[in-house]
Amino acid sequence: MGKFKKIETGIKDLYVIEPKVFEDNRGFFMETYNKKDFKEIGINEEFVQDNHSKSVKGVLRGLHFQKEYPQAKLVRVIRGEVYDVAVDLRKGSETYGRYYGVYLSAENKKQFFIPRGFAHGFLVISEEAEFVYKVDDLYHPNDESGILYNDEKIGVVWPFEKIGGEQNIIQSEKDKNWGKLS
């Protein structure tokens, strides 16, 4: 096995990535990105920016997407745990409107590759979580849009039981006011 294992999600071009982790009594080492190795597993994006966010338990960010300047993302959690979701918004896609969710944590070290044309969001289920991600285009603040987290047409099954119920979610005003997929 190479340094990265690419796991199919059932949605074309959307992958969970498991890095090879070298552990011993001192701790661990792993590469989180290597352009050559990613190319070998079929991911050829040229990442241009890294982002880092910290959130508390119950924060639900998203579902966000960019209208004119879409971004591919490689996301992971370096502290805590989140339930991460990507929704296919690619016009003409066989899986348009379908989502895939995965638990990302500092412990499991999984990464999620989200290609251009997807909405993205996550729910923090640990006391705090630090989330880092690479993007393949710069952020354009006036280009951001989103979809309500509870859009029935998409039907994301969020693990609200892990935060004591849906009434405990914490959202930005912007995220509370997005429209629906339709």
What is the mean pLDDT of each successive set of 10 residues along the chain, which is 182 residues long? 89 97 94 94 96 98 95 98 98 97 98 98 98 95 95 97 98 96 88
Whether the CB-CB separation of 20 and 34 falls below 8 Å is answered with no
Quote the pLDDT of residue 69.
95
Its pTM stands at: 0.94
Residue 2's pLDDT is 75
The H helix count followed by the E strand count for the chain is 2, 13
Question: Does the annotation mark 64 as catalytic?
Answer: yes
Options 64, 96, 120, 139, the catalytic residue: 64
Neighbours of 113 (CB within 10 A): 24
Whole-number Å distance between alpha carbons of 133 and 112: 9
pLDDT of residue 1: 53
Using a 10 angstrom Cβ sphere, with 0-12 exposed, 13-18 middle and 19 or more buried, the burial of residue 84 is buried
What residues have CB less than 8 Å from 161, skipping those under 6 apart? Answer: none
DSSP secondary-structure letter at 11? S
What count of other Cβ atoms lies within 10 Å of the Cβ of residue 37? 15
Active-site residue, from 15, 83, 100, 133:
133
Q: Which domains does the chain have, with CATH numbers?
A: 46-176 (2.60.120.10)
Question: Is 100 a known active-site residue?
Answer: no
- pLDDT of 141 reads 87
